[in-house]
Amino acid sequence: MLDSYLQLAVAETFLQPTGPIARAQLDHLNYVVILTCIAIVPALVALPLILFRYRRKKAGDRYRPNWDSNLGLEVAMWGLPIVVIFLMAISLWSITQRLDPYEELGKDPLEIKVIGLDWKWVFLYPEEKVAFVDELIVPVGRPVELEMTSDTVMQSLRISALVGQIYAMPAMTTKLNFIASDAGEARGMNTQFTGRGMWRQKFLVHSVPTDEYQQRIAEARQSPITLNEQTYAILAQQGTAEEAKTPLGITVLEGPLETQGTATVVAERDVPVGQGIAMRLPEPKIFQRVLARYKTGVPMTPETQPGSPSYDPAKASLPPLTAVRMEM
């Protein structure tokens, strides 16, 4: 009973890293904590001692009402924080450069395009010609590069056990590079507030051996559902991935949540972090066309803007890439 409370189901945090970046972040956290303690522990220890020693009843002849400066003490007071901060600044500089989320972590990274929607993530594998909703499958040991945008308001994609987070913003792209060193599952989610269903916008990252990865991709290619303009417009409606299943024509089976196995459409309705949706992706330019939507020179309307309460999938078509009129 108790251990169900203390045990996180999947790698939820960078305190349980499953990749080298999160591991380096954890090490840096420890370093920062220890270094800062050098400066603050003296203050925390001194206060009770001072209060005790100089309490009114007992201060007696230790009372020195006019004492208000001391050069040596002054040097120490400025010196200690300066030294601590100097040391920390050095490590801050180097680790920030080293853990650049834009830097590819090796040759030939797996390129995945990510579109943030209300309240689900769409992961496009253009080369493999498959896509997953709220499910990310990556091969262990191979660098991964996510290129992200949002097709609604700003979001923030975080995979704690692997790398951390970066915003995904409409009409813009950002990148997040990571590599999974351990096989297993990690939690990914949107951390930026985006309205009613934001806290359901979570997904599982499966880090799997290469052969299993190939197998899952192959299975996804057999999916009965295709990601095209029509199904994309349905996904873009406000709602979680679970809620999108019925309009997509997926039968949601009741039953225990199976997190292993392939990303299939089987999921229990009551489990909020259910299984993702695997889709075929015959048209790999969807990502670019989502970006193009905001650059045609034609203003968005409540009917065409995903995230708007009056969004209407029937009216919101994605423009062809040739419609782009503006550069940003």
Contacts of 289 (CB under 8 A, 6+ apart): 318, 319, 320, 321
When CB distances are held under 5 to 8 angstroms depending on the partner's kind, the choice from another protein, Cu ion, none that residue 32 binds is another protein
Q: Shortest CA distance to 294 belongs to which of 266, 326, 263, 264?
A: 326
Contact 212, 227 (CB under 8 A): no
Positions in 281-320 near another protein (CB under 8 A)? 293-295, 297-302, 305, 307-309
The correct pick among 154, 172, 183, 252 for binding Cu ion (CB under 5 A) is 172
Query: Counting contacts by CB under 8 A, is residue 234 touching another protein?
Result: no
Binding mask 6-45 for another protein (x = CB under 8 A): xxxx--xxxx------x-xx--xx--xx--x--xx--xx-
Work out which of 113, 158, 206, 216 binds another protein, going by CB under 8 A.
Answer: 158
Look at residue 15 and give the partner it binds from Cu ion, another protein, none, a contact being a CB closer than 5 to 8 Å depending on partner kind: another protein
Of these, 26, 35, 39, 169, which contacts Cu ion (CB under 5 A)? 169
Is the N-terminal amide bond of 67 cis, ω within 30° of 0? no
Q: Which is nearer to another protein, 194 or 223 (CB)?
A: 194
User: Residue 214 or residue 310: which is nearer to another protein going by CB?
Assistant: 310
Are 159 and 121 spatial neighbours (Cβ–Cβ below 8 Å)? no
Q: Are 22 and 163 in contact (CB under 8 A)?
A: yes
Of 153, 238, 149, 156, the residue nearest 192 (C-alpha): 156
Secondary structure class of 195 (helix, strand, coil): coil
**Which stretch, 79-87, 133-141, 277-285, 313-321, contacts another protein (CB under 8 A)?**
79-87
Using alpha carbons only, what angle is made at residue 119 by residues 114 and 123, rounded to the nearest 5 degrees? 20
Place of tokens 């029509």: 230
Q: Would you say 190 or 262 has its CB closer to Cu ion?
A: 190
Binding test (CB under 8 A) with another protein, winner from 105, 169, 183, 323? 169
272 touches another protein (CB under 8 A): yes
Paired with 114 in beta bridges are 123, 148
The one of another protein, Cu ion, none whose footprint includes residue 24, by CB under 5 to 8 A per kind, is another protein
Residues 96-125 that bind another protein (CB under 8 A): 96-97, 99-102
Of the pair 211, 270, the CB lying nearest another protein is at: 270
Q: Write down how long the chain is.
A: 328
Query: What are the tokens at 212?
Result: 């299993």
